[in-house]
Amino acid sequence: MSKEKVDPATLQEAVLHFANPDNCKDFMSDLRWPDGKVICPRCGSDDVSYLPNARVFKCYQKHECQKFSLKVGTVFEDSPIGLDKWLPVVWMLVNCRNGVSSYEIHRAIGVTQKTAWFMLQRARLAMQDEHTGGKLGGEVEIDETFIGGKARNMHKDVRARKITGTGGKDKAMVMGMVERGGKVRAFVVGNRRKKELQQQVREHVEAGSAIFSDELKSYDGLKTDYQHAVINHAVEYVNGNVHTNTMENFWSLLKRGLNGTYISVEPFHLFRYIDEQAFRFNNRKDADGELINDFNRFKTALSQIVGKRLTYKALTGKEEGTEVPF
């Protein structure tokens, strides 16, 4: 009688489970080719067989690089790190509420800190949401926040160099919107002027939806397309169902990770850390409001690894044509 397949439920179980190369192969194969028909990532042919001794697949069509591993065509491509280390790293990143630092990965799996940082950035690419679900609708909260070092925590020389103004000057501006009972979207914006913020609202929120924001003047005029209600934070934070507390909760989670786990994040990479936190927030519960377990959250992230690629040159801005993403 065949033994029933049991999915790992904890990090410890995941480490032990994926230490077996056959378990890695079965998991990744089922994820990439759920119908059981392996497709060559280079030519699209299904004339493929598995070579168990080399632990690679071989395509029998005439082209270069007929042999390919499970990592080809994914964010793991060209990495010398085995899946026995890659999969636990992804597990940790998607399931640690405040994120996981490259130094922790460096110590946990025995790679250099630089390698661990690159691995985490590739995993964050897999976690990015392409917003394929259409626009947000129903009741939507909209807010913005500044990301940057706190002046009171800086040495006076550093403060004099980095803080050259008040408010949000010298800080990154992040805008977010969350559908109540649904998903959050957050991204870096260039400024919080009316044209910029209202363009983002119209791009991401369905016309006619009820939207809730603070008293920022940049949101004036949205009533022509939306049911717009404003909460004045100088007076109160909740007035009936008018509030932005869900969005404020997301900012709290984001900043807890940035300030507590990552300590310092370059503006060039900020959008990756925002996407990471948005993924965890959006995959905390399913459509019925039930909590999503660690394995299913991990599996969701791994289902998004195909067709994505991040080279070290692109990551560090040294690839030609690479620009700051805001």
Burial class (CB in 10 A: 0-12, 13-18, 19+), 181: exposed
What integer pLDDT is reported at residue 131 of this predicted model? 66
Question: What does the domain layout of the chain look like in residue ranges?
Answer: 7-22+76-128+289-326, 139-265
pLDDT digit string, tens, across residues 279-320: 999 999 988 889 999 999 999 999 999 999 999 999 998 765
List Cα–Cα distances, 261 to 98, 134, 158, 186, 229, in angstroms. 7, 32, 21, 19, 35
pLDDT digit string, tens, across residues 44-55: 999 999 999 999
Q: Are strands 210-213 and 48-51 parallel, antiparallel or unpaired?
A: unpaired
pTM assigned to the model: 0.89
Average pLDDT, whole number, for the chain?
90
List Cα–Cα distances, 3 to 6, 35, 73, 76, 129, in angstroms. 9, 21, 31, 30, 36
Task: Please name the CATH architecture into which domain 139-265 falls.
Answer: 2-Layer Sandwich (3.30)
pLDDT category of residue 269 using cuts at 50, 70 and 90: very high
- Strand extents, DSSP E, the chain: 48-51, 56-59, 67-68, 139-147, 172-179, 184-189, 210-213, 227-230
pLDDT digit string, tens, across residues 156-196: 565 555 555 555 567 899 999 999 999 999 999 999 999 99
pLDDT category of residue 134 using cuts at 50, 70 and 90: confident
Provide φ and ψ at 143, rounded to 5°: -155, 170
